[in-house]
Chains A and B, each alone.
Chain A
Amino acid sequence: MKTSWQLYLDLVKGLWRENPVFRLLLGMCPTLAVTTTALQGFSMGMAVVFVMILSGVAISSFRKFIPHQVRIATFTIIIATFVTITDLTLAATFPPMSKALGPYVPLIVVNCIILGRMEAFISKQPVSRSFMDALGMGLGFTLALIILGSIRELLSSGAVFGYQILTTQAAGGWFRPWVIMILPPGAFITLGILLGIINTFSRKSKVG
């Protein structure tokens, strides 16, 4: 029974309660790789939203015609096509961002979030619900990337989205940038601690 309340729930669940990165633990690879700055995280998130919505609508529309045996292969081809479009569009319109995100844009093809949602939800639901699910999951992913990217950017350079918040010692201030935050160890540790903190709060809300 498609009600607007149900569609609203489909959209909102991807944002926090079933956030793909923090709760479903999917799509970790790009989460760690591109979040050196908040803007990069945002851009990657937008690319994934784009791919998810287009693939989701396409797959949901054709779900009655895709044979069960070859469904994974079909999903993958559809996703790969949209990722190719996204990659070329990004390279043409924002070349520096395309260079910064590098090989992680084509790696959206194997992003577990997209394939996972197609398999679990979108291939079995009508287009309206699939659209909302794809949008919600994509935005939830973007939110996770922005949070992680902001933390890493703030601690490694004192800025968020390019806006200087903490004055670095080089500019005469007090803040000594944590270089580790740009490097792989910083990414791993930040995400690990973030997950631990989020788990603490969601446990509390379950008990309390």
Chain B
Amino acid sequence: MSLLLIFISATVVNNFVLSYFLGICPFLGVTGRLKSAFGMGIATTFVMTLTGGITWVVYHLILVRFGVPFLQYVAYILVIASLVQVIEMFIRKSNPSLYRALGIYLPLITTNCAILGLALFATLRDYGFLQSIVYGFGAGIGFTFVMLIMAGIREELDLADVPKPFQGAAITLILAGLLALAFMGFSGLIYA
């Protein structure tokens, strides 16, 4: 599948949050403010792009070579956890202000189901090395896109009169449903 198609598919047609239900935890937790949503989105995109590439290498050049493809889940989660740790240390050293801005979000990315989901999907669909990287990048961009939209809506929502029991997660989920409905309009874009 062409790289552009993979990118568009990951970004809007099969958006990771709205079609695959991945990354809901940060989606509910970090979309209160546009700034935090943006920071989380960018950090996640960065990790996802790298994960796409590295997990391809781990699967095809290590796991398959040694005949242990079933160790996929253990290997991938180790890769992701280590990657996030390394990135955190790197950012802390090289750009302290960025590190302070991202704060707690960086370690939280490890448990983001979207990262592991991305690695699993790419392996399942037998993407090549470059395709996996583009897929990761597209998924991250799509994730950031939806985070920004939701954060924008929720900032406006602060001024609205939401009933007390629905404030917080409940209204966000209902809004996500409407957003998912809107995104279904993209489904005809890829004729696969």
Distance in Å: Cβ of A180 to nearest Cβ of chain B = 8
Nearest B residue (CB) for A26? B25
Quick one: which of A72, A84, A191, A197 contacts B73, CB cutoff 8 A?
A84
Distance in Å: Cβ of A88 to nearest Cβ of chain B = 7
Nearest B residue (CB) for A32? B21
| Contact A199-B165, Cβ < 8 Å, known A73-B81, A112-B25 | yes
Stretch at the interface among B95-103, B152-160, B168-176: B168-176
Distance in Å: Cβ of B116 to nearest Cβ of chain A = 5
When distances are taken between beta carbons in the complex, the residues of chain A under 8 Å from B175 are 192
Tell me the residues in window 129-188 of chain B with beta carbons closer than 8 Å to chain A beta carbons.
Answer: 163-166, 169-178, 180-181, 184
When distances are taken between beta carbons in the complex, the residues of chain B under 8 Å from A87 are 73
A103 contacts the other chain (Cβ, under 8 Å)?
yes
What is the bound-complex CA distance between A107 and B115, given in angstroms?
10
Distance in Å: Cβ of B175 to nearest Cβ of chain A = 8
Nearest A residue (CB) for B27? A28
What is the bound-complex CA distance between A83 and B110, given in angstroms?
17
Contact A33 B20 (CB under 8 A): yes
| Contact A186-B177, Cβ < 8 Å, known A192-B171, A199-B166 | yes
Nearest B residue (CB) for A183? B184
Nearest A residue (CB) for B20? A33
What is the bound-complex CA distance between A111 and B165, given in angstroms?
26
B71 contacts the other chain (Cβ, under 8 Å)?
yes
What is the bound-complex CA distance between A186 and B181, given in angstroms?
9
What is the bound-complex CA distance between A80 and B120, given in angstroms?
14
What is the bound-complex CA distance between A44 and B155, given in angstroms?
35
Nearest B residue (CB) for A107? B113
Quick one: which of B25, B110, B113, B181 contacts A185, CB cutoff 8 A?
B181
| Contact A200-B117, Cβ < 8 Å, known A84-B74, A188-B174 | no
When distances are taken between beta carbons in the complex, the residues of chain A under 8 Å from B176 are 188, 192
Contact A103 B165 (CB under 8 A): no
Distance in Å: Cβ of A47 to nearest Cβ of chain B = 13
Tell me the residues in window 45-77 of chain A with beta carbons closer than 8 Å to chain B beta carbons.
Answer: 72-73, 76-77
B58 contacts the other chain (Cβ, under 8 Å)?
no
Distance in Å: Cβ of B151 to nearest Cβ of chain A = 17
When distances are taken between beta carbons in the complex, the residues of chain B under 8 Å from A97 are none
Distance in Å: Cβ of A106 to nearest Cβ of chain B = 5
Contact A80 B73 (CB under 8 A): yes
Contact A72 B81 (CB under 8 A): yes
Tell me the residues in window 190-208 of chain A with beta carbons closer than 8 Å to chain B beta carbons.
Answer: 191-193, 195-197, 199-200, 203
B24 contacts the other chain (Cβ, under 8 Å)?
yes
Contact B116 A107 (CB under 8 A): yes
When distances are taken between beta carbons in the complex, the residues of chain B under 8 Å from A89 are none
Contact A77 B78 (CB under 8 A): yes
Contact B117 A103 (CB under 8 A): yes
When distances are taken between beta carbons in the complex, the residues of chain A under 8 Å from B177 are 184-189, 192
Nearest B residue (CB) for A111? B113
Q: List 9 A-B contacts (CB under 8 A).
A: A29-B22, A33-B21, A77-B78, A81-B74, A103-B120, A184-B180, A195-B170, A196-B171, A203-B165
Q: Which 4 A/B pairs are nearest by Cβ-Cβ distance?
A: A192-B173, A188-B177, A189-B177, A199-B165
For the complex with contacts A103-B121, A189-B174, A199-B165, 4 further pairs of A-B residues with Cβ separation under 8 Å are: A25-B169, A106-B72, A109-B73, A192-B166
* B interface with A by C-beta (< 8 Å): 18-25, 28, 70-74, 77-78, 81, 110-113, 115-117, 120-121, 124, 163-166, 169-178, 180-181, 184
